[in-house]
Amino acid sequence: MISFIYKKVVLIKSVLYKFVVKRKARSCGQNLRVWRMSKINNNTYLGDNVNFNGMTIVGTGKVVIGNFFHSGTECLLISSNHDYEGTRIPYDSNNIKKEIIIEDFVWMGSRVIVLGGVTIGEGAIVQAGAMVHKDVPKYSIVGGNPAKVIKYRNVEHFLVLKGRGEFH
């Protein structure tokens, strides 16, 4: 009985979290899933089959997340920063917008930080705890602080699965 109630509570929370994200997103594709509290900016564009498990998107820059994206818990995307070369120190009130683009089939582990001005290529995997400040090549697996390429996926296998529509 407790297991049944727990599952119902999780489902109800998921519906609420999804509502909050869809309401804030500039656009949202089909089959959004939001399993933990997630907060996004109002300049976020979501593709189809996006899965958030605790995502925070802050800043004023544009954020585009492609199809079949999966995130771990407590991920953070920062799409703008302060102008430290402006009229005051340590920074002035101007925000510098920096777009973030995450292409299709990206899997991001827990507690990943992505800074503005970054593109994460199709099929990339970002290891838990990584701090991404530069572009991530397609099909690469990156990790660390700063994130570096560890290896590449088997691209031929990836493309076969993609061609067959084997998506999660």
So which residues are the catalytic ones? 82
Residues 6+ apart with CB under 8 A from 160: none
d(CA 19, CA 142): 32
Amino acid at 130: A
Strand-pairing partners, residue 113, are: 76, 131
Nearest of 107, 125, 101 to residue 68 by alpha carbon: 107
- DSSP letter at 4 equals H
Residue 73 buriedness (CB in 10 A; 0-12 / 13-18 / 19+): middle
